[in-house]
Structure 1
Amino acid sequence: MWHPDDYLKHLHESVPPAERFEAETREEWKSWQERLRQSFIALLAVPADRRELSPVLLESVDCGGYTRQRVSIATFGTLTMPVYVLVPKAHDRERGAVIALHGHGYGSRDLVGLNPDGTDKTGDSGYQKNFAVELALRGHLVVAPELLGFGDRKLAEDAERGDSCYRLSTNLLAMGQTMAGHRVFEALRCVDYLLARGDVDANRIGCMGISGGGLVASFAAAVDERIKAAVVSGFANTFQASILAVPHCIDNFVPGLSRLAEMPDLLGLIAPRPLLIEAGTRDPIFPLHAVDEAYDKLKAIYALLAAEPQLAYDRFEGDHEISGRLAFDWFGGIWPSREAEDERA
Structure 2
Amino acid sequence: MWAPDVYLEERYKMTKQSYGFNSSSISLWIDQKELLKEKLIELLGGFPEEKQSLNAIVIQKEEFEEYTIDRIEYSTYLHMRVPAYLIIPKNNQKTRPAVIACPGHGYGSKECIGLLPDGSFNKGDPTIHKNFALELVKNGFTVMVPEILGFGDRRLEEDQDKDPKENSCYRLATNLLMMGQTLIGHRVYETIRAMDYLNTRSDIIHSKIGCMGFSGGGLVTALTSAVDERIKATVISGYTNTFKDSIMAMRHCLDNYIPGIINCCEMSDLIGLIAPRDLFIESGVDDPIFPLKGAQTTVSKLKEIYNKYNADNNIEIDVFNGEHEVWGKKAYLWMKEKLYMV
2:277 alignment counterpart: 273
Residues 275-332 of structure 1: per-residue CA shift (max 9 Å, x gap) = 0001000100000011111110000000000000010001000010000111121111
Q: Which amino acid aligns with 1:186?
A: E
1:341 alignment counterpart: none
Q: Which amino acid aligns with 2:273?
A: L
Counterpart among 172, 175, 182 of residue 179 in structure 2: 175
Gaps of 5+ in 1: 339-345
Equivalent residues of 1:23, 1:32 under 8 A apart: no
3-state SS of 2:78 partner: coil
Structure 2 distance, partners of 1:336, 1:122, is 30
- In the TM superposition, residue 47 of structure 1 has moved relative to its aligned partner by 4.4
3-state SS of 2:104 partner: coil
1:184 alignment counterpart: 188
Structure 1 distance, partners of 2:24, 2:213, is 31
Q: How does 1:23-172 map to 2 (within 5 A)?
A: 23-48=23-48, 50-90=51-91, 92=93, 95-161=96-162, 162-172=166-176
More divergent stretch after superposition (151-160 vs 44-53): 44-53
Residues 36-73 of structure 1: per-residue CA shift (max 9 Å, x gap) = 11111111123436311111111111121110110001
More divergent stretch after superposition (61-70 vs 48-57): 48-57
2:218 alignment counterpart: 214
In the alignment, does 2:229 pair up with 1:225? yes
**Identical pairs, percent:** 45
Gaps of 5+ in 2: none
- In the TM superposition, residue 246 of structure 1 has moved relative to its aligned partner by 1.5
1:17 alignment counterpart: 17
Equivalent residues of 2:282, 2:319 under 8 A apart: yes
Q: Which amino acid aligns with 2:225?
A: A
Equivalent residues of 1:24, 1:304 under 8 A apart: no
3-state SS of 1:278 partner: strand
- In the TM superposition, residue 26 of structure 1 has moved relative to its aligned partner by 2.6
- In the TM superposition, residue 18 of structure 1 has moved relative to its aligned partner by 1.2
2:7 alignment counterpart: 7
CA 1:157–1:337: 2 relative to 1, 3 Å: closer
CA 1:93–1:183: 2 relative to 1, 3 Å: farther
Cα RMSD between the aligned structures? 1.3
3-state SS of 1:204 partner: strand
Structure 2 distance, partners of 1:179, 1:91, is 39
- In the TM superposition, residue 24 of structure 1 has moved relative to its aligned partner by 2.5
When normalised by structure 2's length, the TM-score is 0.96
In the alignment, does 2:302 pair up with 1:302? no
- In the TM superposition, residue 335 of structure 1 has moved relative to its aligned partner by 3.1
Q: How many residues align?
A: 338
When normalised by structure 1's length, the TM-score is 0.95
In the alignment, does 2:283 pair up with 1:282? no
